[in-house]
């Protein structure tokens, strides 16, 4: 039976918006897949203009779009956030995220750091989780191991990763992804802590407690 991330109290009607971010190659995708394997949660699939990698599937890993289609969606305000990274655009479609939250379903975004900062500004209730590698040496090993990037592109990613990791202190939560099981447990702890915050309990729910 699927575990619902919404928690035990049905009065907490709006879902949590959990934003996972971090430098390219830190293992965000693997961590997210393991964490959400048994959960009833809406995972927002991003749009991107980059080329599809051999193992990737359209509308499952990303919505692969032309630059023209992406820019049109930008002009129409269709993205919750968007960012350009290493020459390609990435963006989160707004409508499906807002619909899922409104129906009480938790939503997880896995997005670039610049986009996560946009969400933090526009949606203060968003829960930002920054995933970092144990070291830049390990991050380089992971990027080279993917065999999908040129040496020049890897150096660009590492340069940007240094800057992003140093900015992680401004995020609400930081998780070191050096052990997958431990990182999953840390994410579970984050969602439990957020769900126990008093402001997520409606006044009507509290009245029911004292009146029962």
202 is in an annotated binding site: no
87 is in an annotated binding site: no
The overall longest dimension of the chain from CA atoms, in Å, is: 66
Q: What is the spatial distance between Cα 56 and Cα 50, in angstroms, rounded to a whole number?
A: 12
Say whether 43 sits in a helix, a strand or coil. Answer: strand
DSSP state of 179: S
Question: Other C-beta atoms within 10 Å of 173: how many?
Answer: 18
28 is in an annotated binding site: yes
Q: What is the spatial distance between Cα 74 and Cα 82, in angstroms, rounded to a whole number?
A: 8
Q: What is the spatial distance between Cα 50 and Cα 158, in angstroms, rounded to a whole number?
A: 19
Say whether 89 sits in a helix, a strand or coil. Answer: strand
7 is in an annotated binding site: no
205 is in an annotated binding site: no
CA dihedral 197, 201, 207, 212 (to 10 degrees): -80
168 is in an annotated binding site: no
196, burial (CB in 10 Å: exposed 0-12, middle 13-18, buried 19+): exposed
170, burial (CB in 10 Å: exposed 0-12, middle 13-18, buried 19+): exposed
| Residue numbering of the annotated binding site for ATP | 22-29
| Residue numbering of the annotated binding site | 22-29
């Amino acid at each position: 039976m699927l575990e619902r991330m919404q928690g035990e109290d049905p009065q907490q009607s709006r879902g949590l918006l959990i934003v996972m971010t971090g430098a390219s190659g830190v293992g965000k995708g693997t961590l997210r897949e393991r964490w959400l394997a048994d959960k009833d949660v809406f995972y927002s699939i991003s749009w991107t203009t980059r080329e599809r990698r051999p193992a990737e599937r359209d509308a499952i890993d990303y919505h692969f779009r032309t630059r023209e289609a992406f820019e049109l969606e930008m002009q129409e305000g269709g993205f919750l956030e968007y960012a350009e990274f290493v020459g390609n655009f990435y963006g989160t479609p707004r409508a499906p995220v807002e619909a899922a939250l409104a129906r009480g379903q938790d939503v997880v975004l896995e997005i670039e750091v610049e986009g996560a900062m946009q969400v933090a500004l526009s949606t203060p209730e968003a829960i930002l989780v920054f995933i970092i590698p144990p070291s830049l040496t390990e991050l380089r090993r992971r990027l080279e191991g993917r065999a999908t990037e040129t040496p020049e592109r890897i150096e660009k990613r590492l340069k940007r990763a240094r800057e992003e990791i140093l900015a992680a202190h401004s995020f609400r939560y930081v998780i070191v992804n050096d052990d997958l099981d431990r990182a999953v447990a840390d994410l579970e702890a984050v969602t439990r802590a957020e769900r126990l915050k008093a402001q997520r309990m409606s006044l009507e729910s509290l009245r029911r407690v004292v009146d029962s």
